[in-house]
Amino acid sequence: MSIAAQEAAESARKIFEAVYGASPAGIFAAPGRVNVIGEHTDYNEGFVLPMAIDRYTAVAVTPRLDGLLRVFSGQGSTTITDIPVAGLAPGQRTGWTDYPAGVAWAMIGAGALPADFKGADMAFSSAVPVGSGLSSSAALECSTGLALAALAGKPISPAELARLSQYAENEYAHVPCGPLDQLSSAFGAADAVLQIDTRTFDIKVHPFALAEVGLTLLVMNTKVQHQHGESGYADRRAACERSALLLGVPALRDVSFEDLERAATVLDETDLRRVRHVVTENDRVNRFVSLLQLGPLEGPRLNSAGELLTASHVSLRDDFEVSCAELDIVVDAALRGGAHGARMTGGGFGGCAIALVSTDRLEKVAETVTEALPAAELFTVVADRGAYQVL
């Protein structure tokens, strides 16, 4: 049982009772995530190493009988939004409500909900910062999917939950994300990271109880908002797909270090740098996993892990060009303060960076980051469990 999920659930229950004047039939929660390493590799069928975090989106729900999906968010809503289930279709662009609506649409289309689904009253509460690169949308989608499946009496597996949530975000909300975020939210495990092969969806769980070895993962939210659907994210994905086609491979996951020399004769300079990031980032993920397989991050293993994190940021900054001035500032400050390694996390163009810090250096690192970027919000996270029914 996650204390953080229970707190989010209690908040959702209070919101539901205040808005709808009744107690909910159930409450479901799904976490945000930090991607420890492996950025922009998921839609290239590569490797990622995320962890679900102790920040959750919870939804309190009760079934309806009139075919309406009624949604309310404790983070910004002033009125209930009524969404006719029969009229669900992509392209409506209604803001945050596209995410729960899109999940319902995807589930009906896949048979995970009956075609004549009668609707629900839903109230959301979230501790996952929006636009921060911590997968607030995936947490919203996975909590919604779990809740709707339960109302319909049709259990849904974590794999199906992740797949349909990603499909909803791609096709209904028109955000071209890969599967990383939804898999993290659905499959998360306490005190563990997930080694995910995004081609096969093979998932291996590795211990990541940092506190046991005197380490802390610090999140540094720059407060610079990103919107993947309106940013360079789609351009980066298109460049990767174009390059894979020119190189004659199914995806950039199939490009090796040795292939980069040939790629230089086929691609322009910009696309070559995009490809180089994916190739080197996949290698960094696998090297980080190798360190974890040798035991806790201590001594030389800790130094090597930190170097991989920082190298990832340099690659994202210089080759993939998805960092921004604020992200670079907090990463550099964390390293100056004594962090073992630091990198941006998430799609980029704003949002959060992370730093791996010895707990006895946490105060000094936080002080250095705050001096460098006073607007930054700093908090620590631990790996927590994936989406589940709380009440």
Give the pLDDT of residue 76.
75
pLDDT more than 90, % of the chain: 92
Residues 255, 277 contacting (CB under 8 angstroms): no
pLDDT at 42 over 60: yes
Annotated catalytic residue 181 = yes
Q: What is the mean pLDDT of residues 172-197?
A: 94
- The per-residue pLDDT for 18 is 97
The pLDDT of residue 226 = 61
Span 209-381: which CATH code?
Answer: 3.30.70.890
Residue ranges of domains in the chain: 3-205+384-389, 209-381
Q: 293-330 in b/e burial notation, b at 16+ Cβ within 10 A?
A: eeebbeeebbebbbebbbbbbebbbebbbbbbebbbbb
Please, which pLDDT band fits residue 177 given cuts at 50, 70 and 90?
A: confident
Residue with tokens 């040939």: 262
- The per-residue pLDDT for range 337-368, each reduced to its tens digit, is 999 999 999 999 999 999 999 999 999 999 99
C-alpha to C-alpha distance for 79 and 62, rounded to whole angstroms: 18
Quick one: pLDDT band at residue 231, thresholds 50, 70, 90?
low
- What pLDDT shows up at residue 223? 93
Q: Quick: pLDDT tens for 136-167.
A: 999 999 999 999 999 999 999 999 999 999 99
* Region 85-102 average pLDDT: 89
**pLDDT range class, residue 229, cuts 50, 70, 90:** very low
Choosing from 98, 181, 319, 384, the catalytic residue is 181
3-205+384-389, what's its fold? Answer: Ribosomal Protein S5; domain 2 (3.30.230)
pTM equals 0.94
**Average pLDDT score over residue span 157-183:** 94
